[in-house]
Structure 1
Amino acid sequence: MKPKPVVGWRELVGLPELGLSGIPAKIDTGARTSSLHAHVLDEFERDGQRFVQFAVDWDGVRHQCEAVHVDIRGITSSNGETQSRYVIKTQLQIGDTQIRTDISLADRSEMKFPMLIGRTSLRRRFLVDSGHSWLQTPDAHKIKSRQA
């Protein structure tokens, strides 16, 4: 059996199908579903599939994306409030590992990290070392100066 990669409490991650990389993410085993800071712009249908178009903002840059819209779910935030959120399914890359996972689109503008990686994405794939950061991130010394 191959050993599981170890992630720190924060990592830079990518969403390659969306053309996004270097997203600062908090690893949160207390959250069930992963979430991405996004503003939903439009919902549409193409070739019989539902899509959602959204904008992702971080580091002063706006990235426009679209993905297959899987569901709208009631997601309970850390303050106990339940919100209806769009959920997409896409590839998530942490270090050299890529997995297909559900990600809710949420307003995380008040949060320090534009992305949160929940336990469903981590389960049976990674071990979490909460005492360290950037364990799966190349050039971690460059990131530490940006995200203290």
Structure 2
Amino acid sequence: MVLRFTGTALALCVVLAGCQSLPEQAPEAVACPEVPVVECPVCPLQECPEPRVLEKIVLRPAAPMAVPVRPETAGELELPIIGVLEFIRVEPSGLTLEAVVDTASEHTTIAARDVRLLEKDGKRFVSYVLVDPASDEQHALEAPLLRRASVVDAHGGSARNYVVTMWLTLGDNRTRVEVSLSENTDMPYPLVIGRNLLTDVAIVDVSRRHTLEHPAAP
């Protein structure tokens, strides 16, 4: 038994001696595994398709519109068409005044100064002064008195004016008309043409002005 133990011990010593006689080895380096590089696919460039023409618009210059010619006469009598403002020649003074045409007024009225009633040889006359708005030239006149007439102005006021006769030329028409002499200084125009001149002479278009040429001197 002792012999068996001795052999076992001897064998163990030999093994240990052999282990101690082996040279020391450096630890082997562990290399990282290579990771394959995965390349991202490159997206191809998307090109927009050519536009598809649905409707083609062609711009062309428009033809000039024909302006309708406004009539110069109207009515059964083919009367001239006048505007709300016209130039009227007044005689015997020879003045050409800008007049407003008022179809609501029955009488024709003219702005006058220094209106006075006179008596000559038992007859009544009216002296008055007409003023040229362009030059401020004054024309002193006399005419037989026809009557006195009540005139209502645009503000509702009334006055009794002397009425005389004058020759008024509107376009190609020259007419002897009864005219009321007004000393109202608020008149916007020196002459107001009423229906006593317009009847059977002209048709009024209030959208027009100065449709007639300046009346020529007789």
TM-score bin, normalised by smaller chain? 0.7 to 0.9
Runs of 4+ in 1 over 3 A off after TM superposition: 45-49
Separation (CA, whole Å) in 2 of partners of 1:117 and 1:108: 16
Separation (CA, whole Å) in 2 of partners of 1:24 and 1:88: 20
Separation (CA, whole Å) in 1 of partners of 2:162 and 2:122: 18
Separation (CA, whole Å) in 2 of partners of 1:14 and 1:2: 23
One-letter code aligned to 2:83: G
Matched, 1:21 2:95: yes
TM-score (norm 2): 0.58
Alpha-carbon RMSD across the aligned residues, in angstroms, is 1.9
Partner of 1:145: none
Matched, 1:91 2:167: yes
Partner of 1:113: 189
* Structure 1 residue ranges without an equivalent (≥5): 140-148
One-letter code aligned to 1:39: R
Q: Matches of residues 55-70 of structure 1 in structure 2 within 5 Å? A: 55-57=129-131, 58-59=133-134, 60-70=136-146
Q: Secondary structure at the match of 2:206?
A: coil
Greater RCO (Cα-Cα under 8 Å, separation 6 or more): 1
Matched, 1:9 2:77: no
Separation (CA, whole Å) in 1 of partners of 2:111 and 2:213: 20
Asked if 1 retains the 8 angstrom alpha-carbon contact of 2:110 and 2:181, the reply is yes
Q: Deviation at 1:40?
A: 3.5
Q: Deviation at 1:13?
A: 0.4
Q: Deviation at 1:32?
A: 1.3
The structure having more radius of gyration, on CA atoms, is: 2
Change (3 A) 1:48 1:15: farther
Q: Deviation at 1:132?
A: 1.0
